[in-house]
Amino acid sequence: MMVFVRIPLVLVSVVLLQITLFDELRIAGIAAECAMGLAVAAGLAGGSDKGAMVGFLLGLFLDLYIATPYALSALTFAVVAFIAGFFDNSMANTSWLVAGPMIGIGTASGVAMYVLFGEILGEDHFYTDRFWVLLIVTGLAGLLLGGPLMAAMRWCFSNGARQGPPPIRRFGVVN
C-alpha cells in the first residue's frame, strides 16, 4: 500500500525539481534530464512492467509543464523504463558507482529517443547541431544523479520492511 503513496510523492517531487531547480542549473544552456533519469531508475529498480507504468505516469505529469506534444514524454519514459527493466539490476541496486553510469547511459539514450520521436511527430527543432552536446551533458548529469534516483525508486518499490538482497534479474528472468 505504501507504494501508492511513495510513488506519487517521488514523481511529483522530481517533476517539481525538474521544472524549478534543474531548469535553472544549466550547463552550456542544457538542463539535466532528472525525470528521464528517474524513468531509467524505475526500470532498473522495478523491472520492465513497473518501470514502464511509473515512467508513463511520470511523463504524463511532466508533459503538463513542457510545451511539446502532450504524452511525448510519457511515451518515451515508458519505453526507456521498459528497456531498462531488462538489464541486470543487481549491480545497480547495490552500488551507486554502478547505478550512476547505468542511469547516465540510459538518460542519454532516452534523450536521443525523445528527439527521434519528436522529429517523427514533426518537431523539427528537436534535432539541432548541439545534439551531441545535449547527450553528453544529460548523460553526465544522469551519472551524477543516478545514485539518489536509484535510491528513491528502490524506496518506492520496497514494502517498508528490511529485506535481503533483491532477486537477480537478467533480461527479465528472475533466477
Binding residue count for other proteins, defined by CB under 8 A: 53
Asked if 11 interacts with other proteins (CB under 8 A), we say no
Q: Please, what is the minimum distance in Å from the beta carbon of residue 56 to other proteins?
A: 5
What span, in angstroms and rounded, lies between the C-alpha atoms of 12 and 25?
A: 19
Asked if 162 interacts with other proteins (CB under 8 A), we say no
Asked if 129 interacts with other proteins (CB under 8 A), we say no
Site map 75..104 versus other proteins, x via CB under 8 A: x--xx--x--x-------------------
C-alpha cell at 36: 528521464
Determine which residue in the list 72, 112, 143, 150 makes contact with other proteins, applying CB under 8 A: 72
Ramachandran angles phi, psi of 57, nearest 5°: -65, -40
Q: What is the CA angle 50-54-59, rounded to 5?
A: 150
Judged by phi (left if over 0) then psi (alpha if -120 to 50, else beta), residue 29 lies in left
What span, in angstroms and rounded, lies between the C-alpha atoms of 53 and 70?
A: 17
The alpha helices in 20-130, defined as continuous H runs, are 21-24, 34-63, 72-84, 90-94, 96-120
Asked if 14 interacts with other proteins (CB under 8 A), we say no
Asked if 45 interacts with other proteins (CB under 8 A), we say no
Asked if 67 interacts with other proteins (CB under 8 A), we say yes
Judged by phi (left if over 0) then psi (alpha if -120 to 50, else beta), residue 71 lies in left
Q: Please, what is the minimum distance in Å from the beta carbon of residue 94 to other proteins?
A: 20
> What residues make contact with other proteins under the rule CB under 8 A?
12, 16-21, 23-27, 30-31, 33, 47-49, 52-53, 56, 59-61, 64-72, 74-75, 78-79, 82, 85, 111, 114-115, 118, 121, 123-126, 134, 138, 172-174
